Every structure is written in C-alpha cells, then in structure tokens.
C-alpha cells in the first residue's frame, strides 16, 4: 500500500517515508486533490482554489499536474476527459472497473481528440464545447497522413478517470489532444495541448481567443489552426519515435519519418545526403510508398533552393514527380510536393498549380501545402494570391520548420509587386529564420541593388558566390521559373553589376 503523508503546517510531503520536493503551487494542487479522493475535481475548481482571485492560463495547471505525476507516479492522478482530474494514489479508480482492451497502433501518426473541459461556468454551454471538438476532429481527419479516432469513441471517456497511456492502448493511438474552453460574456478562450499518450510528454500547446458572435466562424478558425499547427509537430514527433527504434527493425515508414526533418529543412549537405539515403531505402522496401515519393521530390526541390546540389542533380526526381501526379495519389502532401517540384525544377508552374490546388482542396488545413501553393503562384506572377496563401501558412503554423521559406515567398511576391522596401524587410526576416535557403540571398541581392543599397547587394553576392562558385547570368535565366519580368530583369542586372559572368 502506497503511504503518502501531507503536512499542511510544514507544507511537506513524504511518499513511503521518502521526502518529496514540491513547489508551492504543486503542493496546493496535491493537497486539494488528496483531500477529495472520492470525487472528480474539475479543472475550474482547481484553478479557482489554487489560484484564487488570479486569472491564469490552464497551462499553469497542466504543468503542476505533470510535475506531480513525475514525483508520485503517473497513476497517482487520473485524467477525466472533459472534466478534470481524480486523485487515485493508493486507492481504486473508475478505470479499474473499465474493460481493458488494446488496439493495434496504425503505421501512420495516430491521434484521439478527447472531450474538452467546459470551464465556462454553465453546463448549458456543453454543446458549444462539443461542437468545437467535433470541428477539430473533422479537420484533422481530412489530413490523409493521420489516423484520427472519431468522437463517437473518444466521447465515451467523458467523466471517467483514466490515464493517457490507457487511452492510447484502448484506442490504438500515439497522441492525444486535450483542451478546455473558458467564457466571459461573449469572449471565449480555448486551450489545446498535444500529448504523447505513452509518456504523457507535451508535444505542443496553444491558446485561442475569440467571441461567440459568430460561433461557426470561431469553430472553423480553431479547427484550421489546430490542424495546421499539429501536422508538422506530429511529423517531427514521429521522426524522433522512429529514430529511437533499433535500426534493424526499421520499415519503410520508419525510414521515411526519419528522413522527413532532414530533407524538409536542409541545414547541411550531410542532412540532405542522409535524408536521401533513408528515402531511397524506404522506396526499395516499398516502391509504391507515396509519402516517401513526396518527400523525395521535396528533397530535390530543397537541394537546389539551398544550392547544395546543381540544377541538373535536382532534376533527377522528375520521373518520380510525374508518377505521383499521374497516379491519382490520395496523399495531399505528396501531391503538393510533387506539384511544386514540377513547377520549380520542372519549370512547368501551370501543371504544378493544378496539382497543388488539388492537394489544398484535399487538406485545406496544411501549412506546408499552403506554402507550396503560395510559391507556385509566385512563379506565375500571381502576387496577391501568393501573399494570401503564404500569410495563411504562417497564421495556421507560426512555428513551422520551413517558416523561412514561407517568409521568403512573401518577400518574393512583394519584390515582383515592386514594393521593394516591404520585400527587403521580409527578406531580412527570412535570412534570420533560414540562412541556408539561398533563394533569400539571391532575392535580397537584386532587391538591394534596385534600391541603391549596393553594399548590401555586394554582401549577398559575396555569400552567394561562395555557396555557388560557378553561378552565372545564364544559369539564373535557365533555372529560375518566375514569370515576372521585373523580378528576372532586376536580378540579372544585379548579377552583372556584382561581377557574375554571363555564362
């Protein structure tokens, strides 16, 4: 029997005779939970008791619960989806009477969206809370690279004390999305967090504010942003999970997931080469693996954009890209990556735009696809459309691993609109976000030259020359897909002014 002793006078805690060090807030949370072991304590009740009279984020409570589970064991405090928590250390929990079943985990990222806690102070708002959860679940279900459990299954956990590992086993998922909703007048605050089920490790969290004036717009906005933000986070989390497995047990999917962060942001030539080797192994194991083909195209796109490889080397993926476009692929990421590759390296933006638009209609909540779409509009000189899609990509995923590519795309569109001051500002921001993305230096060199900032232009030219010693005016004209005459003529003039050869 676990022996927990809490001394309210000295504010000390011992577990099986061993002292436990807790912060002041963690002690208050534990004391309140342990004094009510017979019932579920709502999140609202805990917030009001521990932070009485202080307006705090629910994330503060989440942090304290996580700390207590680490100190006392994850079985000490059970989550009650849609309600709050129940203290179960040394006692029975509701989950003991629940049938224990185990579902196999799919071979793609898998997720369950649990009922959100209604912290509005009015049970009548339950429909509002459930409606938002349904919209988020539906938005995530449209991402073909995810397996998302329906709310008919997840809502059965409402009011039952369970731990996240149990939910993961019973639903067969790797990740769980939790949340809560607060309300003051017509203002709403929605808190969400993505957690790894087996370890309870926090992957991502975010807060959204809005009003009830148009609840349907609010539901759509939250669903869009949650889905857009979670997509890259789950890809990176899956990459880490796959990498931790023994090498001899890796299958095509695991290889693909390991390759993803290496090829999607190519910080070094070594990253590119390692990622490409993993993808080639994955395609040997499964030649029809569409997601691997999409990443293969993305890798070749980035290989030239960063100038790790020549344009001729980057063209090696053309057969793979055409195969994805001609196969009727139902993976929106792969379709968009192949479409963008055809537009950029294949220099056929009209065909590429059709494919990326189709991918966007299949998954309108992907910041990555919005990034691709914005850049293809850039190539076609459709600057307003480019800015709209790229700005949206940043809005739904502001911490996206390729944020520098997105920002550079906005800069490129303003360059083509001949708004050079705005373009330079975005280029400078992109330079900080992703200095290895050589397209930034190329654009900033031309933009600065046109504005008369010859020192800045020379600095970018020097960097570019070191990266691409054989760069010439003819190479730029031959390899750049942009239709904008102003952009092309300005960069050509800057190349000549900075001493780059004609051929």
Asked if pLDDT for residue 37 goes beyond 70, the answer is yes
Q: How far is CA 475 from CA 169, 465, 503, in A?
A: 55, 13, 7
Q: Does 161 reside within a domain? A: yes
Q: What is the biggest distance separating any 2 CA atoms in the chain, rounded to whole angstroms?
A: 82
pLDDT of res. 222: 74
287's CB contacts (< 8 A; 6+ apart) are none
Q: Higher-confidence residue: 264 or 477?
A: 477
Residues 71 and 194 in one domain: no
Distance CA 448, CA 431 (A): 14
Q: What is the CA angle 479-484-489, rounded to 5?
A: 75
Q: Does 258 reside within a domain? A: no
Helix axes 332-344, 367-379, angle to 10 degrees: 20
Residues 62 and 161 in one domain: no
Which pLDDT tens digit goes with each residue over 358-417? 998 887 778 889 999 999 999 999 999 999 999 988 877 777 888 999 999 999 999 999
Distance CA 229, CA 101 (A): 31
Residues 397 and 485 in one domain: yes
Distance CA 132, CA 42 (A): 19
pLDDT of res. 334: 92
Residues 126 and 208 in one domain: yes
Do 408 and 427 contact (CB within 8 A), yes or no? yes
Residues 233 and 120 in one domain: yes
* CATH code of the domain containing 432: 1.25.40.10
**What's the average model confidence in pLDDT over 113-130?**
82
Query: Per the structure, how many domains does the chain have?
Result: 3
Distance CA 153, CA 4 (A): 35
Residue where a domain terminates, one of 93, 120, 149? 93
Residue where a domain terminates, one of 62, 93, 124? 93
pLDDT of res. 62: 77
pLDDT of res. 107: 65
Which pLDDT tens digit goes with each residue over 233-265? 666 666 665 554 432 335 787 788 788 888 988
291: tokens are: 């997601």
Asked if pLDDT for residue 3 goes beyond 90, the answer is no
Q: Does 331 reside within a domain? A: no
Residues 204 and 127 in one domain: yes
Q: Does 187 reside within a domain? A: yes
Residues 369 and 486 in one domain: yes
Do 406 and 394 contact (CB within 8 A), yes or no? yes
Asked if pLDDT for residue 500 goes beyond 80, the answer is yes
Asked if pLDDT for residue 101 goes beyond 70, the answer is no
Residues 20 and 119 in one domain: no
pTM to 2 decimals?
Answer: 0.61
Residue ranges of alpha helices (H) inside 345-484 are 349-362, 367-379, 383-396, 403-416, 420-433, 438-451, 454-467, 473-479
Q: Does 475 reside within a domain? A: yes
Q: How far is CA 270 from CA 201, 262, 308, 312, 320, in A?
A: 30, 9, 10, 19, 23
116: tokens are: 């959100």
Asked if pLDDT for residue 494 goes beyond 70, the answer is yes
Which pLDDT tens digit goes with each residue over 317-332? 999 999 999 987 778 8
Residues 121 and 213 in one domain: yes
Q: Does 78 reside within a domain? A: yes
Which pLDDT tens digit goes with each residue over 177-198? 888 888 888 888 888 888 888 8
Q: Does 370 reside within a domain? A: yes
Residues 372 and 429 in one domain: yes
Per the structure, the complete domain to which residue 127 belongs is given by: 110-238
Residues 176 and 59 in one domain: no
How high is the mean pLDDT of the chain?
A: 84
Distance CA 464, CA 438 (A): 7
């Amino acid at each position: 029997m676990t022996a927990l002793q809490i001394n309210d006078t000295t504010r000390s805690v011992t577990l099986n005779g061993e002292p436990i060090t807790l912060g002041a807030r963690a002690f208050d949370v534990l004391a309140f939970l342990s004094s009510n072991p017979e019932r579920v304590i709502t999140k609202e009740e805990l917030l009001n008791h521990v932070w009485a009279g202080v307006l705090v984020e629910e994330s503060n409570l989440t942090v304290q619960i996580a700390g207590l589970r680490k100190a006392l064991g994850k079985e000490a405090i059970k989550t009650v989806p849609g309600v709050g928590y129940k203290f179960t250390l040394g006692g029975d929990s509701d989950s003991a009477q629940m049938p224990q079943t185990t579902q196999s985990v799919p071979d793609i990222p898998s997720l369950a969206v649990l009922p959100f806690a209604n912290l509005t102070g009015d049970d009548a708002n339950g429909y509002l809370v459930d409606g938002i959860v349904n919209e988020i679940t539906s938005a995530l279900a449209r991402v073909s690279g995810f397996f998302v459990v329906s709310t008919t299954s997840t809502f059965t956990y409402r009011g039952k004390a369970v731990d996240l590992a149990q939910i993961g086993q019973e639903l067969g998922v790797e990740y769980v999305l939790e949340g809560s909703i607060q309300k003051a007048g017509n203002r709403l605050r929605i808190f969400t967090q993505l957690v790894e089920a087996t370890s309870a490790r926090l992957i991502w969290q975010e807060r959204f504010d809005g009003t009830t004036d148009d609840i349907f717009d609010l539901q759509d906005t939250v669903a869009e942003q949650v889905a857009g933000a979670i997509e890259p986070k789950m890809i990176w989390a899956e990459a880490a999970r796959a990498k931790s497995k023994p090498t001899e047990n890796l299958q095509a999917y695991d290889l693909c997931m390991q390759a993803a962060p290496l090829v999607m942001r190519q910080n070094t030539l070594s990253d590119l080469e390692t990622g490409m080797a993993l993808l080639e192994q994955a395609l040997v194991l499964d030649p029809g693996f569409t997601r691997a083909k999409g990443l293969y195209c993305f890798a070749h796109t980035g290989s030239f954009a960063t100038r790790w490889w020549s344009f001729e080397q980057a063209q090696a993926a053309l057969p793979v890209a055409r195969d994805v476009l001609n196969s009727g692929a139902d993976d929106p990421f792969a379709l968009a990556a192949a479409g963008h590759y055809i537009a950029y390296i294949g220099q056929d933006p009209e065909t590429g735009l059709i494919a990326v638009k189709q991918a966007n209609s299949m998954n309108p909540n992907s910041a990555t696809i919005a990034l691709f779409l914005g850049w293809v509009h850039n190539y076609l000189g459709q600057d307003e459309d480019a800015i709209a899609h790229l700005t949206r990509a940043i809005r739904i995923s502001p911490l996206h691993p390729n944020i520098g590519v997105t920002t550079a795309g906005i800069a490129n569109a303003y360059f083509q609109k001949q708004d050079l001051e705005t373009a330079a500002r975005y280029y400078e921001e992109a330079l900080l976000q992703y200095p290895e993305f050589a397209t930034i230096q190329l654009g900033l060199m031309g933009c600065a030259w046109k504005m008369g900032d010859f020192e800045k232009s020379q600095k970018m030219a020097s960097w570019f020359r070191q990266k691409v010693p054989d760069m010439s005016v003819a190479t730029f004209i031959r390899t750049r897909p942009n239709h904008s005459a102003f952009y092309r003529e300005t960069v050509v003039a800057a190349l000549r002014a900075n001493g780059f050869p004609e051929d």
